Amino acid sequence: MMIDPFTPSAFTLTSLTAAINQLKYQPSRLSGLYEEQGITTLTASVEERDGVLSLVEIKPRGANGQPVHGEGRRIIPFTIPHLPQTATLMADEVQGVRAFGSETQAEILQTRINERLATMRRNLDYTMESHRLLALMGQYYDANGDAQSLFTTFNVVQQTQTMGWSTSATSSARKKATELITKIEDALDGAPFSGIRCLCGATVWTDLLEDQDAKATYLNTMMAADLRQDPRLSFQWNGITWERYRGTSAVKVPDAEAYAYPEGVAGLFITRFAPANYNETVNTLGLPYYAKGEPLKFGKGYELEAQSNPLNLCTRPRAVIKVTKA
Protein backbone atom coordinates (compact mmCIF):
# COMPACT_ATOMS: atom_id res chain seq x y z
CA MET A 1 0.00 0.00 0.00
CA MET A 2 1.45 3.39 -1.03
CA ILE A 3 1.45 6.06 1.69
CA ASP A 4 0.33 9.53 0.63
CA PRO A 5 2.57 12.03 2.41
CA PHE A 6 0.13 14.83 1.54
CA THR A 7 -2.14 14.05 4.45
CA PRO A 8 -4.80 16.76 4.81
CA SER A 9 -4.02 17.10 8.52
CA ALA A 10 -0.67 18.67 7.63
CA PHE A 11 -2.42 21.57 5.87
CA THR A 12 -5.11 22.51 8.40
CA LEU A 13 -5.38 26.00 9.85
CA THR A 14 -4.42 24.65 13.28
CA SER A 15 -1.25 22.84 12.20
CA LEU A 16 0.04 25.48 9.76
CA THR A 17 -0.75 28.41 12.06
CA ALA A 18 1.08 26.66 14.89
CA ALA A 19 4.02 26.01 12.55
CA ILE A 20 4.38 29.57 11.26
CA ASN A 21 4.14 31.07 14.76
CA GLN A 22 6.79 28.65 16.04
CA LEU A 23 9.35 29.46 13.35
CA LYS A 24 12.58 30.95 14.64
CA TYR A 25 12.12 34.64 15.33
CA GLN A 26 14.13 37.00 13.12
CA PRO A 27 14.32 40.34 14.92
CA SER A 28 14.00 43.60 13.01
CA ARG A 29 14.99 47.06 14.21
CA LEU A 30 11.55 48.04 15.54
CA SER A 31 10.26 44.62 16.58
CA GLY A 32 10.93 45.10 20.30
CA LEU A 33 9.55 48.63 20.41
CA TYR A 34 5.86 47.75 19.99
CA GLU A 35 3.62 46.13 22.60
CA GLU A 36 1.61 43.36 20.92
CA GLN A 37 -1.88 42.08 21.70
CA GLY A 38 -4.67 40.27 19.86
CA ILE A 39 -8.21 41.59 19.42
CA THR A 40 -11.39 39.88 18.20
CA THR A 41 -12.59 42.41 15.60
CA LEU A 42 -11.52 43.54 12.13
CA THR A 43 -11.71 47.23 13.01
CA ALA A 44 -10.42 49.19 15.97
CA SER A 45 -11.93 52.42 17.29
CA VAL A 46 -9.22 54.86 18.28
CA GLU A 47 -9.98 57.79 20.58
CA GLU A 48 -7.96 60.99 20.69
CA ARG A 49 -8.07 63.17 23.78
CA ASP A 50 -5.56 65.90 24.57
CA GLY A 51 -3.14 64.52 21.99
CA VAL A 52 -3.14 60.97 23.39
CA LEU A 53 -4.59 58.08 21.36
CA SER A 54 -6.16 55.00 22.91
CA LEU A 55 -8.15 52.02 21.66
CA VAL A 56 -11.77 51.96 22.75
CA GLU A 57 -12.28 48.74 24.71
CA ILE A 58 -14.55 46.07 23.27
CA LYS A 59 -16.91 44.79 25.96
CA PRO A 60 -19.74 42.23 26.01
CA ARG A 61 -23.31 43.41 25.61
CA GLY A 62 -24.75 44.53 28.94
CA ALA A 63 -21.36 45.46 30.40
CA ASN A 64 -20.59 48.98 31.57
CA GLY A 65 -19.26 51.21 28.82
CA GLN A 66 -15.93 53.00 28.78
CA PRO A 67 -16.30 56.25 30.76
CA VAL A 68 -16.22 59.55 28.89
CA HIS A 69 -14.50 62.49 30.55
CA GLY A 70 -15.63 65.87 29.28
CA GLU A 71 -15.24 67.42 25.87
CA GLY A 72 -12.40 67.42 23.39
CA ARG A 73 -12.48 63.72 22.51
CA ARG A 74 -12.71 62.23 19.04
CA ILE A 75 -13.24 58.60 18.04
CA ILE A 76 -12.36 57.26 14.58
CA PRO A 77 -12.71 53.62 13.42
CA PHE A 78 -9.64 52.07 11.77
CA THR A 79 -9.91 49.14 9.38
CA ILE A 80 -7.06 46.82 10.31
CA PRO A 81 -4.76 46.10 7.32
CA HIS A 82 -4.95 42.63 5.82
CA LEU A 83 -1.60 41.22 4.67
CA PRO A 84 -1.93 37.91 2.77
CA GLN A 85 0.88 35.86 1.20
CA THR A 86 0.47 32.76 -0.99
CA ALA A 87 2.76 29.91 -2.07
CA THR A 88 2.36 26.57 -3.85
CA LEU A 89 3.73 23.19 -2.82
CA MET A 90 3.62 20.75 -5.74
CA ALA A 91 3.30 17.00 -5.23
CA ASP A 92 6.42 16.20 -7.25
CA GLU A 93 8.55 18.29 -4.87
CA VAL A 94 8.32 15.39 -2.40
CA GLN A 95 8.40 12.60 -4.99
CA GLY A 96 11.64 10.62 -4.84
CA VAL A 97 13.35 13.11 -2.53
CA ARG A 98 15.31 12.05 0.52
CA ALA A 99 16.81 14.66 2.77
CA PHE A 100 20.11 14.22 4.58
CA GLY A 101 19.96 11.48 7.20
CA SER A 102 16.92 9.27 7.57
CA GLU A 103 13.96 11.55 7.11
CA THR A 104 10.67 9.92 6.31
CA GLN A 105 8.32 11.19 3.61
CA ALA A 106 6.29 12.96 6.28
CA GLU A 107 9.41 14.68 7.60
CA ILE A 108 10.43 15.75 4.09
CA LEU A 109 6.97 17.17 3.51
CA GLN A 110 7.14 19.10 6.78
CA THR A 111 10.54 20.49 5.76
CA ARG A 112 9.11 21.72 2.45
CA ILE A 113 6.13 23.26 4.24
CA ASN A 114 8.39 25.04 6.74
CA GLU A 115 10.52 26.41 3.89
CA ARG A 116 7.45 27.97 2.29
CA LEU A 117 6.16 29.26 5.62
CA ALA A 118 9.55 30.76 6.48
CA THR A 119 9.66 32.69 3.19
CA MET A 120 6.12 34.01 3.66
CA ARG A 121 6.83 34.98 7.26
CA ARG A 122 9.97 36.89 6.25
CA ASN A 123 7.88 38.83 3.75
CA LEU A 124 5.26 39.57 6.42
CA ASP A 125 7.94 40.64 8.90
CA TYR A 126 9.48 42.97 6.32
CA THR A 127 6.06 44.51 5.70
CA MET A 128 5.47 44.80 9.44
CA GLU A 129 8.73 46.72 9.80
CA SER A 130 7.57 49.20 7.16
CA HIS A 131 4.22 49.66 8.95
CA ARG A 132 5.94 50.20 12.29
CA LEU A 133 8.39 52.71 10.90
CA LEU A 134 5.49 54.55 9.30
CA ALA A 135 3.65 54.59 12.65
CA LEU A 136 6.72 55.96 14.39
CA MET A 137 6.73 58.81 11.86
CA GLY A 138 3.07 59.56 12.65
CA GLN A 139 1.35 57.75 9.78
CA TYR A 140 -0.73 54.63 9.20
CA TYR A 141 -2.08 52.55 6.31
CA ASP A 142 -5.77 52.78 5.49
CA ALA A 143 -7.96 49.96 4.14
CA ASN A 144 -6.73 50.69 0.59
CA GLY A 145 -3.06 50.44 1.56
CA ASP A 146 -2.48 54.19 1.29
CA ALA A 147 -0.40 56.02 3.89
CA GLN A 148 -2.37 58.56 5.93
CA SER A 149 -1.26 61.08 8.55
CA LEU A 150 -2.31 60.54 12.16
CA PHE A 151 -1.83 64.24 12.73
CA THR A 152 -4.29 65.14 9.97
CA THR A 153 -6.79 62.45 10.98
CA PHE A 154 -6.93 63.60 14.61
CA ASN A 155 -6.13 67.28 14.01
CA VAL A 156 -2.97 67.08 16.14
CA VAL A 157 0.03 69.30 15.38
CA GLN A 158 3.29 67.45 14.75
CA GLN A 159 6.26 68.70 16.75
CA THR A 160 9.45 69.46 14.86
CA GLN A 161 12.97 70.50 15.79
CA THR A 162 15.74 71.99 13.67
CA MET A 163 19.24 71.21 14.90
CA GLY A 164 21.47 73.68 13.07
CA TRP A 165 24.43 71.31 12.89
CA SER A 166 27.57 73.13 11.80
CA THR A 167 31.27 72.52 11.23
CA SER A 168 32.09 75.76 13.05
CA ALA A 169 32.96 76.04 16.72
CA THR A 170 29.87 78.22 17.24
CA SER A 171 27.39 75.43 16.48
CA SER A 172 24.08 75.84 18.31
CA ALA A 173 23.24 72.13 18.10
CA ARG A 174 23.82 71.48 21.81
CA LYS A 175 21.17 74.08 22.71
CA LYS A 176 18.84 72.63 20.06
CA ALA A 177 19.21 69.15 21.56
CA THR A 178 18.10 70.51 24.93
CA GLU A 179 15.04 72.06 23.26
CA LEU A 180 14.24 68.69 21.66
CA ILE A 181 14.34 66.92 25.03
CA THR A 182 12.08 69.57 26.56
CA LYS A 183 9.50 69.11 23.80
CA ILE A 184 9.37 65.37 24.44
CA GLU A 185 9.03 65.91 28.21
CA ASP A 186 6.17 68.35 27.66
CA ALA A 187 4.38 65.96 25.28
CA LEU A 188 4.62 63.13 27.83
CA ASP A 189 3.00 65.37 30.48
CA GLY A 190 4.88 63.79 33.35
CA ALA A 191 4.88 60.19 32.10
CA PRO A 192 8.18 58.51 33.06
CA PHE A 193 10.72 57.51 30.41
CA SER A 194 14.15 55.94 30.51
CA GLY A 195 15.90 57.76 27.67
CA ILE A 196 15.58 59.34 24.23
CA ARG A 197 16.62 57.79 20.93
CA CYS A 198 16.74 59.43 17.51
CA LEU A 199 16.61 57.34 14.32
CA CYS A 200 18.38 59.20 11.53
CA GLY A 201 18.14 59.19 7.76
CA ALA A 202 21.35 59.10 5.73
CA THR A 203 21.77 62.86 5.17
CA VAL A 204 20.89 63.79 8.74
CA TRP A 205 23.39 61.22 10.01
CA THR A 206 26.13 62.81 7.89
CA ASP A 207 25.17 66.32 9.06
CA LEU A 208 25.29 65.14 12.67
CA LEU A 209 28.76 63.63 12.29
CA GLU A 210 30.07 66.81 10.67
CA ASP A 211 28.96 68.96 13.60
CA GLN A 212 31.99 70.26 15.47
CA ASP A 213 30.71 69.21 18.89
CA ALA A 214 29.11 65.90 17.91
CA LYS A 215 32.11 64.72 15.87
CA ALA A 216 34.42 64.46 18.88
CA THR A 217 31.83 62.47 20.84
CA TYR A 218 31.24 60.15 17.89
CA LEU A 219 34.94 59.48 17.30
CA ASN A 220 35.51 58.64 20.96
CA THR A 221 32.47 56.36 20.92
CA MET A 222 33.61 54.55 17.79
CA MET A 223 37.13 54.01 19.17
CA ALA A 224 35.59 52.44 22.26
CA ALA A 225 33.27 50.38 20.07
CA ASP A 226 36.22 49.07 18.06
CA LEU A 227 37.81 47.85 21.28
CA ARG A 228 34.55 46.06 22.12
CA GLN A 229 34.15 44.91 18.49
CA ASP A 230 30.71 46.51 18.55
CA PRO A 231 29.52 47.34 15.00
CA ARG A 232 26.40 49.34 15.93
CA LEU A 233 26.12 52.77 14.38
CA SER A 234 24.88 54.73 17.39
CA PHE A 235 26.29 57.02 20.06
CA GLN A 236 25.10 59.25 22.89
CA TRP A 237 25.34 62.99 22.55
CA ASN A 238 23.62 65.66 24.65
CA GLY A 239 21.37 63.20 26.46
CA ILE A 240 20.12 61.53 23.26
CA THR A 241 21.14 58.25 21.64
CA TRP A 242 21.61 58.98 17.94
CA GLU A 243 21.34 56.01 15.60
CA ARG A 244 21.50 55.59 11.87
CA TYR A 245 18.44 53.63 10.72
CA ARG A 246 19.80 51.09 8.27
CA GLY A 247 16.79 50.22 6.19
CA THR A 248 16.33 49.51 2.49
CA SER A 249 15.36 51.58 -0.52
CA ALA A 250 11.70 50.86 0.27
CA VAL A 251 11.78 50.91 4.08
CA LYS A 252 13.81 53.79 5.48
CA VAL A 253 13.79 57.06 7.35
CA PRO A 254 13.79 59.83 4.70
CA ASP A 255 17.35 61.00 4.08
CA ALA A 256 16.87 64.57 5.33
CA GLU A 257 14.82 63.60 8.40
CA ALA A 258 15.26 61.95 11.80
CA TYR A 259 12.73 60.98 14.46
CA ALA A 260 13.37 61.28 18.18
CA TYR A 261 11.21 59.37 20.64
CA PRO A 262 11.25 58.53 24.36
CA GLU A 263 12.18 55.01 25.43
CA GLY A 264 10.59 53.08 28.28
CA VAL A 265 7.12 54.65 28.00
CA ALA A 266 4.44 52.01 28.56
CA GLY A 267 2.00 51.73 25.66
CA LEU A 268 3.67 54.38 23.51
CA PHE A 269 3.89 52.09 20.48
CA ILE A 270 1.28 49.35 20.12
CA THR A 271 0.43 46.56 17.68
CA ARG A 272 -3.01 44.96 17.66
CA PHE A 273 -3.63 41.77 15.68
CA ALA A 274 -7.06 41.03 14.22
CA PRO A 275 -8.18 37.45 13.50
CA ALA A 276 -7.80 35.94 10.03
CA ASN A 277 -10.70 35.89 7.57
CA TYR A 278 -11.35 32.14 7.91
CA ASN A 279 -14.48 30.38 9.15
CA GLU A 280 -12.51 28.88 12.00
CA THR A 281 -11.24 32.24 13.32
CA VAL A 282 -14.52 34.18 13.58
CA ASN A 283 -14.76 35.90 17.00
CA THR A 284 -11.40 34.52 18.13
CA LEU A 285 -8.47 36.51 19.51
CA GLY A 286 -6.10 37.60 16.75
CA LEU A 287 -2.68 35.97 16.40
CA PRO A 288 0.46 37.49 14.84
CA TYR A 289 0.42 35.01 11.94
CA TYR A 290 -1.99 32.57 10.32
CA ALA A 291 -1.44 29.90 7.69
CA LYS A 292 -3.70 27.44 5.91
CA GLY A 293 -3.56 25.06 2.94
CA GLU A 294 -6.03 24.00 0.26
CA PRO A 295 -5.60 21.12 -2.26
CA LEU A 296 -4.89 22.00 -5.86
CA LYS A 297 -7.06 20.72 -8.70
CA PHE A 298 -6.59 17.02 -9.48
CA GLY A 299 -4.60 16.56 -6.27
CA LYS A 300 -1.38 18.02 -7.70
CA GLY A 301 -0.31 19.60 -4.45
CA TYR A 302 -1.43 22.31 -2.07
CA GLU A 303 -1.78 26.07 -2.18
CA LEU A 304 -0.58 27.70 1.03
CA GLU A 305 -1.66 31.05 2.40
CA ALA A 306 -0.09 32.96 5.26
CA GLN A 307 -1.45 36.21 6.58
CA SER A 308 -1.13 38.79 9.32
CA ASN A 309 -3.63 41.50 10.24
CA PRO A 310 -1.77 44.15 12.26
CA LEU A 311 -2.64 47.68 13.30
CA ASN A 312 0.43 49.65 14.42
CA LEU A 313 0.00 52.96 16.21
CA CYS A 314 1.97 55.53 18.15
CA THR A 315 -0.39 56.55 20.96
CA ARG A 316 1.39 59.82 21.73
CA PRO A 317 2.35 61.14 18.29
CA ARG A 318 3.41 64.54 19.69
CA ALA A 319 6.07 62.79 21.78
CA VAL A 320 7.89 61.77 18.58
CA ILE A 321 9.78 64.76 17.23
CA LYS A 322 10.59 65.20 13.55
CA VAL A 323 14.21 66.40 13.39
CA THR A 324 15.88 68.22 10.49
CA LYS A 325 19.09 70.17 10.04
CA ALA A 326 17.32 73.45 9.24
pLDDT per residue over 191-215, tens digit each?
999 999 999 999 999 999 899 888 8
- Beta-carbon count within 10 A of 292 CB: 22
Percent of the chain with pLDDT over 90: 54
Q: What kind of fold does domain 8-57+72-149+268-316 have according to CATH? A: putative capsid protein of prophage fold (3.15.30)
pLDDT per residue over 131-163, tens digit each?
999 999 999 988 788 899 999 988 889 999 999
SS3 category, 269: strand
Phi, psi of 218 (to 5 degrees): -65, -45
Dihedral of the alpha carbons of 310, 311, 315, 317, in degrees to the nearest 10: 110
Q: What is the pTM (predicted TM-score) of this model? A: 0.87
Give the architecture-level CATH label for domain 158-267+318-324. Answer: 2-Layer Sandwich (3.30)
Q: How confident is the model at residue 228 (pLDDT cuts 50, 70, 90)?
A: low
SS3 category, 29: coil
- As a whole number of angstroms, the distance between CA 239 and CA 232 comes to 18
Q: Helices in the chain by DSSP H: which ranges?
A: 13-22, 105-136, 150-153, 173-188, 202-210, 212-228
Specify the pLDDT at position 96. Answer: 60
CATH 3.15.30.10 boundaries in the chain = 8-57+72-149+268-316
- As a whole number of angstroms, the distance between CA 209 and CA 215 comes to 5
CATH 3.30.2320 boundaries in the chain = 158-267+318-324
Confirm if 253 and 189 have CB atoms less than 8 A apart. Answer: no
What are the DSSP calls for 125-144, one per residue?
A: HHHHHHHHHHHHTTEEE-TT
